[in-house]
C-alpha cells in the first residue's frame, strides 16, 4: 500500500471517504440528510485551497493503484483560518449561520477524519494509515497528533490506544461526547 499527498484530481475520492467517516457531521453542516448535497458541499471545499478539508490537507491510501482510503490532517493552530471558508460555504449553500465547537487547538496536527473503503475494512488499512500519520507527523516532523473519538466507539479508542495515543481530555462536538486523544513526540 502506498500513502501519498492528495492532488486536486483526488477530490471525488476524498469526498467519498470523508462521507464514510463523517456522514452525520456533513449532514449537520448542510442542515439536512441529503447525501448528494453533502457530497457536493465537501467536493466544493476539497477542490479549493485554504480550508480545513482542502486536498492540500489530505492523504490518499492506494492499493494496486486504486484509492482505498483518505485522511484529513491539518495544523490545529490554524483552525479559525481554515474553518472560515467552511462556515462561508455553509452560509452560501444553506443561508444559515453555523458556529461549531473548536475540535482542535494550537500545538497539534489534528486528524479530522480517516475513511476506508468498505471493501477493505477489517484488513488493517486504517491502522496502516494511522501508523503512516504517526511516522510522518510525530517521528519525522516532531509534532503532536490529535484526534477525537466518540465515547460510543470503544473499538476505535482501543485501536488508538494500541497505536500509542493517550486520552488527554473530554470534548463535546456536534452534540456528541468525545474524548480528545494525542500522540506526542518524545
C-alpha cell at 81: 483560518
Sheet holding 166-173, edge to edge: 2-5, 58-63, 66-75, 109-116, 145-150, 176-183, 166-173
- Asked if residues 70 and 17 have their Cβ atoms less than 8 Å apart, the reply is yes
Pick the CATH number of 2-183 from 3.40.50.150, 3.40.50.850, 3.40.630.30, 3.10.180.10: 3.40.630.30
Percent of the residues in the chain that have a pLDDT greater than 70, as a whole number: 100
d(CA 6, CA 58): 5
Nearest residue to 46 via CA among 93, 74, 14: 14
In this prediction, residues 116-133 reach a mean pLDDT of 93
pLDDT, tens only, 50-93: 999 999 999 999 999 999 999 999 999 999 999 999 999 999 98
> What's the pLDDT score for residue 9?
97
Average pLDDT of every residue of the chain: 93
Amino acid at each position: 500500500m502506498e500513502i501519498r499527498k492528495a492532488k486536486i484530481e483526488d477530490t471525488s475520492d476524498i469526498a467519498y471517504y470523508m462521507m464514510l467517516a463523517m456522514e452525520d457531521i456533513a449532514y449537520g453542516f448542510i442542515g439536512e440528510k441529503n447525501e448528494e448535497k453533502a457530497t457536493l458541499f465537501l467536493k466544493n471545499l476539497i477542490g479549493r485551497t485554504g480550508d480545513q478539508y482542502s486536498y492540500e490537507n489530505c492523504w490518499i491510501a492506494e492499493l494496486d493503484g486504486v484509492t482505498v482510503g483518505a485522511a484529513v490532517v491539518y495544523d490545529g493552530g490554524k483552525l479559525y483560518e481554515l474553518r472560515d471558508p467552511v462556515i462561508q460555504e455553509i452560509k452560501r449553500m444553506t443561508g444559515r449561520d453555523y458556529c461549531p465547537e473548536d475540535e482542535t487547538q494550537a500545538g497539534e496536527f489534528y486528524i479530522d477524519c480517516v475513511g476506508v473503503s468498505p471493501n477493505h475494512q477489517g484488513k488493517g488499512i486504517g491502522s496502516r494509515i494511522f501508523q503512516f500519520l504517526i511516522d510522518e507527523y510525530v517521528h519525522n516532523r516532531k509534532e503532536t497528533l490529535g484526534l477525537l473519538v466518540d465515547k460510543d466507539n470503544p473499538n476505535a479508542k482501543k485501536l488508538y490506544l494500541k497505536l500509542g495515543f493517550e486520552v488527554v481530555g473530554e470534548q463535546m462536538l456536534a452534540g456528541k461526547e468525545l474524548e480528545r486523544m494525542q500522540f506526542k513526540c518524545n
